[in-house]
Amino acid sequence: MIKRIIDIVVSSVLIFLLSPLLVVIAVLVKFSSPGPALFRPIRVGRDGEPFKMNKFRTMRVGGEKDWMQRFDPENIDEFVFQSEDDPRITKVGGFLRRTSLDELPNFFNTFGGSMSLVGPRPEEPEVVAHYSPKMRGRLTVKPGITGLAQVSGRGELPLADTIGYDLDYVKDRTLWMDLKLLIQTPLTIFSRRGAL
């Protein structure tokens, strides 16, 4: 209950304070390449429930499904979603990803309750379909905007490492841990560690 109250208060305040920046980014995305400003993919949340995640579009339209050509369920542990020279990413999108500004619309998900400020990152349904029973343990909590994996490597981590961090978070999570991760997140973003 306390975590949910914090999510509502912090996300609503940030949405209000960041609203001018959100409008500017939306305009830049809209006019930098054909397509909508927002990207709303289906992700898997707590207890395996699907939901639509809000974020700014960073790729050309249709590019989000190209990763499936590289995904090998037999080697799920080694899969890395992002690469440094990804031709699908627009110029504005590349900047938004490096600075994590593309994730700002996640605050609407947090306010609405499908996400939390801190937790495992929401996963693709196609990947969750190949989870082992142990991996599914990361689905017992709400997905988050930031989390232990995000401050430990971000986009450069193979899936097994990401899930390992997520399972550690699920096992050891406390409000104090959430606070520490929220403090660490901007430091990680500014250092550009793992930013792809």
What mean pLDDT is reported for the chain?
A: 87
Among 68, 81, 189, 77, which Cα is nearest to 131's? 77
Length in residues, the chain: 196
On whether the CB atoms of residues 11 and 117 are closer than 8 A, the answer is yes
Can you give the residue ranges of every domain in the chain? 2-191
Q: Are strands 144-146 and 116-118 parallel, antiparallel or unpaired?
A: parallel
The percentage of residues in the chain with a pLDDT greater than 90, rounded to a whole number, is 60
* Integer Cα distance of 44 and 124 in angstroms: 6
How do residues 6-58 score in pLDDT, each as one tens digit?
A: 999 999 999 999 999 999 999 999 998 899 999 999 999 999 999 999 999 99
